Amino acid sequence: MDRKKKHTQPSDSKEAAKAGAPLRIGELLIREKLAKKEDIQKALSVQKWEKEMQKLPLGQILVKIGALSESDLEALLNHTDPRRDVGALAVQKGLITKGQLEFCLKKKKPNQLIGELLIAEGLITPGDLGRLLKGQIGAPRLGELAVRLKLISEKDVETAVRAQKSLRKLGEILCDLKLINPLDLNYVLKKHDKELDLGEIVLSLGYITNEQLNIVRQEQQYSAEFLGEILVRKKFITRKRLQFVLSRQYNIPFKYLDGFAYSKQEKETLTSIISQRYAEKNLILPISLKDNNLTLAVFRAQSTHIVYELRAMYIHFSVSCILITQQKFEELFELLYNKHLNSIVSPEEKGTCAYSSEVNLIKLNLDEEVEGKEGEGPLYGVQDVEAEELVNFIIKYGIINGASDIHIEQDRKGVALRYRLDGVLRGTPIGWLKEKLQEKVHAVISRIKIISGLDIAEKRLPQDGVFRVNYYDKEQGEKVDLDFRVATCRGIVGENVTIRILDSRNAKCIGGTKGVDH
């Protein structure tokens, strides 16, 4: 898909652009017509509120986000657990010495609170005790206690800690408010080289130290391994935390999908959208299709660019993406396609791998008429022909007319569709087909790549693949399989595609003919 579109630059960013100053992400989203000024202002207001939240202790943040009531917070502070920590906190604040604390702990009676004993011994005042208890409001253990008492969930604590330690970026807020699609945001960030650095995110969340980050960055210079994988291998962070960080970096939600299962109808629908071979090659899995909302899953966040490309083809769907674990991906892949996922290849090895022996099978009905008059629409009654229907029609026309090759070529004059008939390349006389192909050539080429098991994101290097068509031949009275060999290459404008139609019946006939000089 050609992304070199002209965008009208908003007046508020023209001066910055002229001056050579880098545009902020909000300005870029407005410039790309993905967000409005009022959307950016709304997100900035949320970001300002979150900055104020960072100054508050953990307990107060839990109250502010509505996870905890003031009365619940008071009850937590009066609980015996925070009061047990008062002695250590008093030593830390310099109110008492470690020896005085040890003396009081030996003297303390069962069920007697250390704070009350410190007051009784004259070591601290009631005012000191009150201030020490208030200090506990920001302690991480307060969140753990609230979860144990079932006042809040672990997710509430994670949200509060995140608000306290790491400020959400503007793009993340816009996605959470559903003002922009995460796939669009990731495209803009990549296009303008403003992608978030994974190491900085891990550091800001307090998962690692600066020293640990430097160690990992140094090792990455001599390795093809992702920074996140090195962090996990060195046990600096857990796999679960890595998934959470990747979720933040690419602005896509991380889901566990515990107990998830496909119905029979869902399997039929989803496998017709994303084939087993394409899912296996690109590591993208369809999860659900509800009210034209197609949800796809990846376990490598870097694969979101492929999901973005798929949107160009499935324009009648609203496509979204979620992040899942590799284990869950393999489990659901087997569940959906009734086939175990082959060994997963790392991105750096991917280019050297041969294609799978699996060939995508497409079933066509050749009973429909393909001869159309000039300017006449498709005879099966669809006004806005989608890419899948266009590709099916192009293939059917070639089969019915006995073509040996199909060529889709692009130059500055436009798109040409030609068939090799009796050794001669001829254009098609069907006007509506030529018109629709001009409109949807990128989506058509993406569809051909998908059924051929090719990478739709790769537009510079040549690729080749195969697919198979199954149809009923009325003349022969039998079902026939035709193999199609596909080759793509970069053209003057966009990409060109050549499809060779291989009919095994003709091969048998030639092979069985005697006296033919090969």
Answer yes or no: are the C-beta atoms of 145 and 79 closer than 8 Å. yes
Amino acid present at 35: A
Strand order in the sheet with 285-290: 285-290, 293-298, 318-323
Strand partners, 409: 416
Beta-strand relationship, 463-473 and 360-363: parallel
Question: Identity (one letter) of the amino acid at 503?
Answer: D
Structural domains in the chain, CATH included, are 53-164 (no CATH), 264-358 (3.30.300), 363-511 (3.30.450.90)
Annotate 430-481 with DSSP letters as a single string.
-HHHHHHHHHHHHHHHHHHHHHTT--TT--SS-EEEEEEEEEEETTTTEEEE
* Per-residue confidence in pLDDT tens, the chain, 518 aa: 444 443 444 444 444 444 445 678 899 999 888 899 999 999 999 888 888 887 777 778 888 888 888 887 777 766 655 555 677 778 877 888 888 888 888 888 877 777 788 888 888 888 877 777 665 544 556 777 778 778 888 788 777 777 777 778 888 889 888 899 888 888 888 888 888 889 988 888 888 899 999 999 999 888 878 899 899 999 999 888 888 889 888 888 888 898 899 999 999 999 888 888 888 888 899 999 998 899 999 988 878 878 887 877 777 788 889 999 888 999 999 999 998 887 665 554 444 443 444 566 666 666 655 555 444 444 333 333 477 888 888 998 888 888 999 999 998 888 999 999 988 989 888 888 888 888 888 888 988 988 888 888 788 888 888 888 888 777 777 788 888 999 999 888 889 999 999 876 665 544 443 333 33
Given a contact cutoff of 8 angstroms between Cβ atoms, the answer to whether 249 and 182 are in contact is: no
Cα angle for residues 292, 296, 297 (degrees, 5° grid):
155
What 3-state DSSP class applies to 229? helix
Under 8 Å between Cβ of 296 and 270 = no
